[in-house]
Structure 1
Amino acid sequence: MKAIVQQRYGAAPTVLQVGEVATPAAGPGDVLVRVHAAAVNAADWHIMRGDPWIARLAAPEVFGRRGPKRPIRGRDIAGVVEAVGSGVERFTPGDEVFGDLGDVGGGFAEFAVAPSTSLAAKPVNLSFAEAAAVPLAGSTALYGLRDLAGVRPGQRVLINGASGGVGTFAVQIAAAIGAEVTGVCRTRNVDLVSSLGAHEVIDYTTTDFAALGRHWDVIFDLTGRRRLADCRRALTPTGTLLLAGGGIFEGGSLLGPMAIQVQGRLLARSARPQRLLPLQIRPRAAYLDALRDLIESGAVRPVIERTYPLDAAAEAVNHLEQEHARAKLVLTVR
């Protein structure tokens, strides 16, 4: 099968190569998916570059000394079930599915194997490209707002990084819950964020939300670039700060966007009654099922900046890691 293969750490144009590899087989509990589309995430370029350096020590099952343990990037996929392994009862060949393969990746290929527990039936009102844009970004937004922060109707929620992959879902999910949503983004994305349901949009190139003297019940920081003190100053005394974000490549780093999460963990106890919650998520079909309901009801829709053919994967990843991509980038495989 055709796949985008990586053997060593480095920049996308030099390490992501089109190649032919053996088609994987579905083991017990697994599903073999004929991939129609795969989304690009910040996690892909972090693993591709082995950046930040601390990640190589923290996740040895993913990071090797000179390159990732697995040669094919790509977490988010949408496609058609080709075969199922023993013990799989939720899916049969021919089913249209979408899901998150986790850090092991494998989505930038014509076929991918996934645990059945990380897949769900594709929303009927989405194309494969649109469905591929949902799993990791949508699940992160849903888990952070609904499960960790426990956002309630009427609460004031600020999404910093509202025009990014997770941010576009977070604005819609918070609005669907009934929160009063403030989005923070750059000038060119103000209209987009407003169209997704934000009650107010702050252009960070002209206005610093942390210097306004206002307070929000929940702040979802998806940039990883604001100081904790700035975010906490804009929280209510009992507010919740969600810490996530993949950032853009800045020449290599020790901690990268993980720095703000480490600080959050260290200060969490002393910050009470404010809550500082670093966000880590594992693939779960339950998140996908909930997202499918929101999408099919019309409350949430994926936003795609651009699609690329599989052969142009290096170009897509390079764009994501070097620029502030607007919403999602997706590879079309078939």
Structure 2
Amino acid sequence: MLAAVMDRYGTPDVVRVAEVARPVPGAGEVLVRVRASAVTSADSRIRGARFPAGFGVPARLMFGVVRPRRPTLGGSFSGVVEQVGSRVGDVAPGDEVCGMTGLSLGAHAEYVAVRADRLARKPAEVTHEDAAGLLFGGSTALFFLRDKAGLGPGASVLVNGASGAIGTNAVQLARHFGATVTAVTSAANAELVSKLGAERVIDYADGGLAATTERFDVVLDAVGNLPIDSGRRLLSTRGVLLLVVAGLGETLRARGNVVAGAAPERVSDFDLLLGLVARGEITVVLDQIYDLAGIADAHRRVDTGHKVGNVVVRVTR
């Protein structure tokens, strides 16, 4: 099969398409023919060995000290079941599914073997490209807003980095939960985030958060450029600061009204998000779609830091 592989860390040019062995599913696994897979900021960080401050050493130990231990990246995917293991009974060849592979990665390939209990059924109303683009940012935004902030009707929410993969979902989910949303993004993306549900937009290049005197019940930082002290200044009396992207220092200091950490990958969350998309209640924002042969260009786009929503590679048709 064809897969995007890399044998060293570096620029997008280290990623190439090569012929590799097709994975064989274990007894509790499913072999999925990948139709689409997201290229996320996490993929970019791993490829370039550019990890949040303080996480460099543990990340290298996890992903490979000298060279990548997992040559094929990609964690969010959508596709069609090709083969099932001997202990799998709830999905069958031909079923359309999607999911995330966790630390195993491997979804930037024509086939990926995944545990059956990590798969969600893709609704017919949702394209493979949208499903692949939805899961990473959507599940992260859902976890922080619903599970960590307990977001509900009438709350005020500030989303810093509102036009990215996490931010576009955070704006929409906050509105879905009944909150009012203020979005921080560039002037070029103001119209987009307003259409997604932001009632007010702050241009980060025009004074940005330093100029605002408002206080919010929830502040979600999807960029990693909001220090804890600055974030706390924006909170209401019982407000919560959500650090979706944080270095080791901020993570260790996150207590009380500050939350940091990694979001879990739960099928129940995937099902909820897919249902919202299928019913037209939230929209998956896709920046660009590349063929697998353009994987290096997809990485370059993510590396600009200016992608809007999600970058996706279409692997098979």
Change (3 A) 1:265 1:123: farther
8 A Cα contact 2:77 2:99, kept in partner:
yes
8 A Cα contact 1:37 1:332, kept in partner:
yes
CA deviation string 1:151-190 (max 9, x = no partner): 0101001110000001001111110111011111001100
Counterpart position of 2:253 = 266
Letter aligned with residue 22 of structure 2: T
Matched residue count: 315
2:176 partner SS: helix
Matched, 1:91 2:88: no
Where do 5+ consecutive residues of structure 1 fail to align? 246-256
Matched, 1:39 2:38: yes
Moved more, 235-244 or 291-300: 291-300
Counterpart position of 1:329 = 311
1:323 and 1:24 map into 2 onto residues whose CA distance is 33
2:124 and 2:247 map into 1 onto residues whose CA distance is 36
Moved more, 313-322 or 214-223: 313-322
TM-fit CA distance, 1:88? 2.0
1:26 and 1:56 map into 2 onto residues whose CA distance is 32
Counterpart position of 1:183 = 183
Counterpart position of 2:201 = 201
2:234 and 2:203 map into 1 onto residues whose CA distance is 16
Counterpart position of 1:65 = 65
Letter aligned with residue 266 of structure 1: R
Counterpart position of 2:158 = 158
Counterpart position of 1:231 = 231
CA deviation string 1:184-216 (max 9, x = no partner): 100110000001011111111113234321100
Sequence identity of aligned pairs in percent?
A: 39
Letter aligned with residue 212 of structure 1: T
In the superposition, the TM-score normalised over structure 1's length comes to 0.90
8 A Cα contact 1:265 1:277, kept in partner:
no
CA deviation string 1:107-145 (max 9, x = no partner): 111001112222101132121111110111110011111
TM-fit CA distance, 1:89? 2.6
Where do 5+ consecutive residues of structure 2 fail to align? none
CA deviation string 1:252-290 (max 9, x = no partner): xxxxx525xx3243252xxx4xx1000312322111011
1:158 partner SS: strand
Change (3 A) 1:38 1:226: same
Q: Aligned-pair RMSD on alpha carbons?
A: 1.6
Letter aligned with residue 297 of structure 2: E
Match runs of 1:1-334 below 5 Å: 1-13=1-13, 15-52=14-51, 54-59=54-59, 62-245=62-245, 257-259=246-248, 262-266=249-253, 268=255, 272=256, 275-334=257-316
Letter aligned with residue 127 of structure 1: T
1:207 and 1:302 map into 2 onto residues whose CA distance is 29
In the superposition, the TM-score normalised over structure 2's length comes to 0.95
1:193 partner SS: helix
8 A Cα contact 2:184 2:208, kept in partner:
no
TM-fit CA distance, 1:84? 1.4
